[in-house]
């Protein structure tokens, strides 16, 4: 899928497929180095993190296990409240494991700070976060993100796993929506 398939829906392309790919190369190299000689479990947060998980994991030389969680964050409108419900839990026992959470985007950071606490309570060796995108509000919450692809402005973005009303997830780049799409 490319821009011509969503004719007129996008205001701007924020990050191209090439930019995402070369940043993922760097992140993967850093993760390989940091986890050398250690076991590594990648945990993807459905649904948005599917692309990051697929593209990041394939760039790693390190052997990994993969598991998935689905959570929903209660909130008013588009803002999350930090009250999180697990829709699909992990199949994996985390005791003694090195867990790396793969995320598409951190906005308020409330969902992820809840998730990190939840996973830490299961007796893992470590829990870290790798996110493709981070918005400015994330700085307000005490959530330590070890690997960040790009810091982006506080705009609603779609593509590369991110949706608006379940659309645009299969765009290979990140873009902003034209105002008429929300109308």
Contact residues toward Mg ion (CB under 5 A) are 48, 104
**50-109 residues near ligand XMP, rule: CB under 6 A:** 73, 80, 104-109
3-class SS of residue 4:
helix
Tokens read off for 51: 């692309």
Asked if 141 contacts 106 with a C-beta cutoff of 8 angstroms, the reply is: no
Q: Which residues pair with 150 in a beta bridge?
A: 133
27 vs 45, beta carbon nearer Mg ion: 45
- 158 lies in the site for ligand XMP, by CB under 6 A: yes
Tokens read off for 108: 């308020």
> Which residue in the list 2, 12, 107, 163 is annotated as catalytic?
107
- Total of residues contacting ligand XMP (CB under 6 A): 17
Q: What is the C-alpha R_g of the chain? A: 16
How far out from the chain centre does Cα 126 lie? 18
- Beta strand 65-74 with 83-88 is antiparallel
CB of 2 to ligand XMP, least distance (A): 18
Beta strand ranges found along 118-159 (DSSP E): 126-134, 147-151, 157-158
- 131 lies in the site for ligand XMP, by CB under 6 A: no
- 110 lies in the site for ligand XMP, by CB under 6 A: yes
32 flagged as catalytic: no
- 171 lies in the site for ligand XMP, by CB under 6 A: no
- 162 lies in the site for ligand XMP, by CB under 6 A: yes
What does 55 interact with, of ligand XMP, Mg ion, none (CB < 5 to 8 A by kind)? none
CB of 100 to ligand XMP, least distance (A): 16
Q: Half-sphere exposure (CA, 13 Å, Cβ side) for 156? A: 12
Catalytic residues: 107
In the complex, the residues that contact ligand XMP under the rule CB under 6 A are 48, 73, 80, 104-112, 156-158, 162-163
């Amino acid at each position: 899928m490319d821009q011509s398939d969503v004719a007129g829906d996008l205001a701007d392309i924020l990050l191209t497929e090439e930019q995402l790919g070369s940043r993922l190369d760097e992140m993967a190299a850093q993760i390989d180095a940091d986890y050398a000689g250690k076991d590594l479990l990648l945990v993807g947060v459905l649904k948005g993190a599917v692309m990051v998980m697929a593209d990041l994991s394939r760039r790693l030389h390190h052997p990994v296990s993969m598991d998935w969680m689905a959570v929903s964050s209660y909130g008013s409108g588009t803002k999350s409240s930090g009250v999180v419900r697990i829709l699909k839990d992990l199949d994996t026992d985390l005791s003694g494991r090195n867990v790396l959470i793969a995320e598409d985007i951190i906005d308020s950071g409330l969902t992820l700070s809840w998730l990190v606490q939840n996973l830490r309570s299961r007796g893992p060796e470590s829990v870290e976060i790798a996110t493709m995108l981070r918005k400015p509000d994330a700085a307000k919450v005490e959530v330590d993100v070890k690997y960040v692809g790009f810091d982006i402005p506080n705009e609603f973005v779609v593509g590369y796993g991110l949706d608006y009303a379940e659309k645009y997830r299969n765009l290979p780049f990140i873009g902003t929506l034209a105002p008429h799409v929300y109308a």
